[in-house]
Structure 1
């Protein structure tokens, strides 16, 4: 048997880019509605923004430190793969999706494509709505290169002639305010009947750029966009108030280290070199794109375009079958645990659970973790109402939830203002566990009710992400949840949990024990099976343990939505391990962990978890995993969250040993579609 430690693991950055290739492939599928194909292109653009803002920025930082294994050749390989992905993205847009949109009567018009009437309307729009907000900056010693904020649209212009003072300064920068819409729909009176026409803001400005520089000749120009390091770096050990420290840092987030420069392909080399020099970037950081520099903003076209047949059919989730719609949830939960499978079953049940707790005079206390709840949230409004009604409310608000910091700070301040207890978790760790605990007086005793989830308390994303929620009144499980809240608030040492596995304490260690137990069963010739469904698999100790279990003879199936660094299917090394990824209409977000090390019912374990199998989740976050012990519920998780994804013949991809993926034959089951059909509301 080969040493698992000697198996060459895959590149995490390449694995992230491979995931985005799978997402981008959705834009090529003719069985996907046309506007949704465009949306997948936008999603990839958004994902790449975050990749450069966060992950690639960290890789650049690590490359400056000896011993990290990240050198210039590695950076060049990642940059090359990034360029290839972006090239493919624009090719699909220009050669497949845009022509299909035109056939469907939806056009994105460049200046040359517009009729005289359309040009007249665009000119009026520019002069009324755009030009008053533009202030070109001509560069000279008293007009230095302006600050360029992260991911903003800008123009660089090379001018001929002399300025108003007779000088020959020839470069100007035009910053485009974010308040301006990036996609403008032309009114019906300038469009042929049955057609929809749109213009991009960049095209509007380009057509009228000369009006910003009267008396000067425009020799060349380009739109450009800069991506910066956007991670908030706060030394938590050296601040007295984390909330205020983060608030002050947010004001400078837009001006972090430059990482990537996007320009249009027609940009003159002199201008692109000038911009690279201004931002201190190497040539490999330059992306010359065949279209607008920010494809994310095309979501505005998707939102404005008419045609329901061009979108996925609206899905109305049914009420969870395991919960009564009438009567008290508390009464039901005293006798039954309930499993909620979102978005196939409605998230309204979670809202209803909290609403009943807020309105019930016997409920004395509510505790909840808040990670990504959104700037508008019925759940947060209910917590505010609970405080007003005199209930004890503890909110554990994660201020460092990336890109949600401002919304979470605002909710923390509103909760504090009405008298809720608000804490921010543990210094140096993110609180990523999703938990709600309700304490209710029932006669002479207090009873606890808990909701645990693999996903966030966000009703909006709960309609788009697949997640599993769990409602219970089991005393040992609710006691564990209460101890976690107690530790997060008091910082006291937590007593050993009865059911919950917690990171950074017991979770990784127990997962390794389960894997080893399966491996020993395989060596003994007994049943040995592991099935995992997670978003990412990049934690090396867990990956090495899985490889060892596979070499011992265990049968291992991994359903990993995103990055996976484990190379499957290598003869005599990982030949017993299979990796697949499902990319469909919904974003796969459920984490399910199944282990079998024998034939008896007591020789298997199934856990649901908030944590991916990444090092950060195991060692630097507060995470929770909980067992599903009820036989019927455990079978339901297997039947809905594991088996359909192992059999998916429509949305699944299979990973090769080199880290690349191939789509399965396009026949048979779509796991997501089957679940939608199963739980769709009857209307």
Structure 2
């Protein structure tokens, strides 16, 4: 498509920015290792979802079905293979450098061949007590079918033979039980040294013991991993419920076709050929040779053995909520905007806990997409039911890779008496909304929130998001309309269409965004100031990109802050250098969506749950809230302008996908996440914030 970067190639460019962070020597060593883990985890999900989708497109052969087809999926797959191999090479180079720096700090990753006498005894005992009962060696040659290989696991491919008869070789597979035992084992170490062995090397050391029954005396073993198609197919069987369809789809996901095979490039050639044959893989598939270590996502939890600790800034309570016993009392009087992770997520938990025990609260309605594993949000809602409140939770069962967790939450909530909504089979509910009804005498007050992020207290510590706590009647009226639709999706679409204050998908947001852009174009043509500023996770919707091109060509200044997918090409002559785009990758994940339209000096500012992608705008329930409080509007605009000035962690997004850092030559260095922290922290009354210092 002309002047549009392929979505998947753009995504790989985003993951390259994550890799840049791992390569940045100014980043603490533990964080650099964590970024390697994030890169690896991202790439796993990319293959499970996007590469799998491209392969399905090729199989469809132009028949669309329910799928948005790329024009040249095979060409994109070929590009992906080339880019991934280049990134794997860069990954290995960075890891080698990090290993050298670990050694300088006297932190050593040792293999099974480097163990000292006392460490050998320790590893043997550890294996016997912690590992042995959790592994089942499989003699695969004797099995009529290839055993099921778990999608997120790593495997040791073992080759065995006797020294006096190297031709009699046997193959075996061992799943490394890292989920049960943990990937890292701290070894007895001397002096200031800290030595660590990986679980797979513990198993390697014990191979002669594991296979002693067979009499082999020579072993070689190498790690490999299979990534599978993770798409959940929802069947059309009218005799099954939507929940049953999800459960069936999850079971079928386990049987997904392999879309990538990564392996230790030193693997025995015969074993490699054998595995590829049994897995029905060919050289045309994504066969990725790598180093000795795989599943680097575990390295996000690398042991904290570092002498220099990363002093992460503490979250603090919003100043409007500092001197009050109840969050509820404040937000009934005024709007409050929480900015995570700078502001504490505890204020949201406090609001729900207050509502759970407030005798005047009658109803709580809330949407949930991704929840923490031990969710305080869920605990508060359960307490509310036990206190006689009506609690309605919209639980999105198709939140990718959280489907099983959300099915479990559904069962827990329903057992407690919560009414659980599961939405429409054809439309995910991605909006982040809460509605609380409180009745005093004959008067009912409604309040709650609209957020850009999930109700997850764990990720709220590392995800940058905005949450508007409000009792604004117009916003609450629209949230009521959205819940009426969710409660009756087959006939309730008119409730979404009736929303007057919130911009809502899939009924109105696209049209309203186009109108807002057209207003800026109109002002530019009238020689008035015209500016569009959008902060998003992803920008891939062709219609909106083309409209932004039209705006820039007309004279509108377009400022974009996009973390991930960015399909626009900014280096076009007709844009007159008026479209500027950056991506910020730093300590926190930039997850918020903020839209600012200049509107001839009367700025319209929105926070939103929706990215500018076809799936969000046309196939999901999303909500964007306009900010009416002038002080909050200014605060939000100030934060976005801080990000637009970032010249430390901001990369230029252009047509070439080179990820060059924004130049700081001759300018004061601005690292937006630190500047934002100080900007918000300076608003806290100093007499009450000593504990946050």
Provide closer, same or farther for how the CA distance between residues 574 and 512 of structure 1 changes in structure 2, counting only shifts above 3 A.
Answer: farther
Contact 1:450 1:481 in 2 (8 A): no
| Equivalence for 1:76 | 78
**Corresponding position of 2:690:** 682
Superposed displacement of residue 573, structure 1: 4.1
Aligned residues of 2:229 and 2:256 also touching (Cα < 8 A): yes
1:142-198: CA deviations, max 9, x gaps?
5532221112121223333599xxx957332223335543433334xx312222110
The residue correspondences of 1:629-644 to structure 2 (distance < 5 A) are 629-640=628-639, 642-644=640-642
Partner of 1:347: 345
Report Cα offsets for 1:312-358 as digits up to 9, x if no partner: x1322111113354244333223311111111111111111111111
The Cα shift of 1:266 comes to: 0.6
Cα deviation per residue 1:612-664 (whole Å; 9 max; x = unaligned)? 11111001111000101222211111001x10110012111112222331012
Deviations 1:556-603 (A, max 9, x none): 01000011000112222463111100011100011001112424x2xx
What runs of 5+ residues in structure 1 fail to find an aligned partner?
A: 1-5
Runs of at least 5 residues in structure 2 that lack an aligned partner in the other structure: 63-69, 682-688
Per-residue CA deviations over 1:47-73 (Å, capped at 9, x if unaligned) read 111111111111111122334412433
Aligned partner of 2:514 among 489, 512, 515: 512
Whole-Å separation in 2 of the counterparts to 1:636 and 1:75: 43
**CA distance in structure 1 between the partners assigned to 2:469 and 2:237 by the alignment:** 36
- Matched with 2:210 is 212
Q: Tell me by how many angstroms 1:112 deviates.
A: 3.2
Q: Say if 1:526 and 1:467 are closer, same or farther in 2 by CA, change over 3 A.
A: same
Pair 584,421 (structure 1): closer, same or farther in 2 beyond 3 Å: same
The within-5 A match list for 1:396-475 is 396-475=394-473
Task: Out of 200-209 and 31-40, give the one that drifted further.
Answer: 200-209
TM value normalised by structure 2: 0.92
- The Cα shift of 1:249 comes to 3.1
Distance 1:497-1:180 versus aligned 2 partners, 3 A rule: closer
Cα distance 1:605–1:287, how it changes in 2: closer, same or farther (>3 A)?
same
Query: Is the Cα–Cα contact under 8 Å of residues 54 and 74 in structure 2 kept in the other structure?
Result: no
- Cα separation, 2, equivalents of 1:128 and 1:412: 37
Aligned-partner SS, 1:469:
strand
Counterpart secondary structure, 1:113: coil
Given candidates 39, 48, 51, the residue that maps to 2:43 is 48
- 1:317 matched to which residue of 2? 315
Structure 2 equivalent of residue 478 of structure 1: 476
Instruction: Provide, for residues 399-444 of structure 1, a one-character-per-residue CA deviation record: whole Å limited to 9, x for no partner.
Output: 1111111221222222212222111112211110000001111332
CA distance in 1 between partners of 2:575 and 2:678 (Å): 40
Report the equivalent of 1:561.
563
- Alpha-carbon distance, 1:255 to partner: 2.8
- Is the 2:502–2:624 contact (alpha carbons within 8 Å) kept by the matching residues of 1? yes
Q: Evaluate the alpha carbon distance shift between residue 201 and residue 517 of structure 1 in structure 2; reply closer, same or farther with a 3 A threshold.
A: same
Post-superposition Cα deviations, 1:655-680, rounded to whole Å, max 9, x if no partner, equal: 22223310123661111011223445
Decide which of 499, 505, 513 is 1:503's aligned counterpart: 505
Correspondence for 1:26: 21
Q: For residues 646 and 540 of structure 1, what CA distance do their matches in structure 2 show? A: 24
Corresponding position: 1:670 with 2:671:
yes
Cα distance in 2, alignment partners of residues 274 and 456 from structure 1: 44
Matches within 5 A, 1:475-624: 475-491=473-489, 492=492, 493-494=494-495, 496-573=498-575, 575-599=577-601, 601=602, 604-624=603-623
Q: Indicate if the aligned counterparts of 1:318 and 1:679 stay in contact, CA closer than 8 A.
A: no
Match of 2:245 in 1: 245
Deviation at 1:129, TM superposition (A): 3.0
Offset at residue 141 of structure 1 (A): 5.4
Work out the number of aligned pairs and report it.
Answer: 666
Superposed, which structure 2 residues align to 1:72-221 within 5 Å?
72-94=74-96, 96-140=97-141, 142-160=143-161, 170-187=170-187, 190-214=188-212, 215-218=215-218, 220-221=220-221
Name the counterpart of 2:66: none
Give the direction of change, closer, same or farther, for the CA distance of 1:328–1:216 in structure 2 (3 Å limit). Answer: closer
2: distance between equivalents of 1:308 and 1:518? Answer: 53
Distance 1:218 1:570 in 2: 62
1:134 Cα offset (Å):
3.1
Matched, 1:36 2:36: no
1:243-298 deviation digits (Å, cap 9, x = unpaired): 23323433343331111111112113332222222222232411111231211122
TM-score between the two structures when normalised by the length of structure 1: 0.93
How far off its partner does 1:120 sit?
2.8
Instruction: Give the structure 2 partner of residue 3 of structure 1.
Output: none
